[in-house]
Amino acid sequence: MLKTLTSVNEYLDFINEINSDPNFSDPMLSSQEEMRCNLLDAPGKPANHIWGVFEEDRIIGLFVFLILEEESYIEMLAGLSRIPKAYKETLSFLKDNYKGCKADFVYNPANHLLHNLLLAEKTEFEAEQQKMVLKRDVPCQSCHKIQLYSPQYREQYLALHSDDGYWTAEKVIDASDRFRILLALEEDTVVGYMDITHKFEENEPFDFFVKEEYRRRGYGRAILAKAIELNRPKAMMLLVDTDNTAAISLYESLGFDRFAGGNNITAHVSL
């Protein structure tokens, strides 16, 4: 049985038990900051829906979803269970109540229960990503010009920005309380950008891009170094495709270390 929860406090033992299991831990809850933002503070956010799945009085699954009905968008912020029934009931509830919405699931690659369930749906899977955490202070100097976004570069930024995913260029610009936008300039031309959060104790890039013809010239390194400088003294993490060895080497050279157990897969589902 699926029930709406108004608090997660009485289920902390269940949460910690599942999240400590390497096969069913949730990569969206892999740090104290993520645990607070995606789960513990969820009851106070109107767009967040918290559901428990129960067998009689025993909880077997706990889920938090961000649901933006006006945008037909859903995102799983937390999903904890070791029981197939919990995932099946939750997905069935979403399909029955939010037909036509697009749902994003970010989950542990070792979670075969959720993965196999999504395989049976109309699902698009992204590549597995490695979590990396900034651990070391590495000095970096660059001759490239990196500056914060300003409206004079709006059209260039919009034209360069990825259209994939929820955070479009327009939404990022409008969410200045959440995001910092860094631009790489060649004379007065935008050749790269980074969208990175700044409001949290641990911030992360959401989008990072350099034009093909300007790669391997130090622009990516310069953007990331500037992001690190502006983010201090807060923590920083990022996600990178596990097979992107060049990017992983760049991040390691700037002080990032691989975070064991933080890998994820993102699945896009049409309900």
pLDDT tens across 168-219, in order?
999 999 999 999 999 999 999 999 999 999 999 999 999 999 999 999 899 9
CB 256 within 8 A of CB 238: yes
Q: For residue 54, how far is the Cα from the chain centroid?
A: 28
Percent of the chain having pLDDT more than 70? 100
Q: What is the pLDDT of residues 61-78, one digit of tens each?
A: 999 999 999 999 999 999
Q: What is the pLDDT of residues 87-131, one digit of tens each?
A: 999 999 999 999 999 999 999 999 999 999 999 998 999 999 999
Give the span between the Cα atoms of 51 and 101, in whole angstroms: 18
Asked if residues 8 and 15 have their Cβ atoms less than 8 Å apart, the reply is yes
Q: What is the pLDDT of residue 99?
A: 95
The DSSP string of 42-91 is: GGG-TTEEEEEEEETTEEEEEEEEEEEGGGTEEEEEEEEES-HHHHHHHH
Span 227-253, pLDDT tens digits = 999 999 999 999 999 999 999 999 999
Q: In which band, very low, low, confident or very high, does the pLDDT at 262 lie, cut at 50, 70 and 90? A: confident
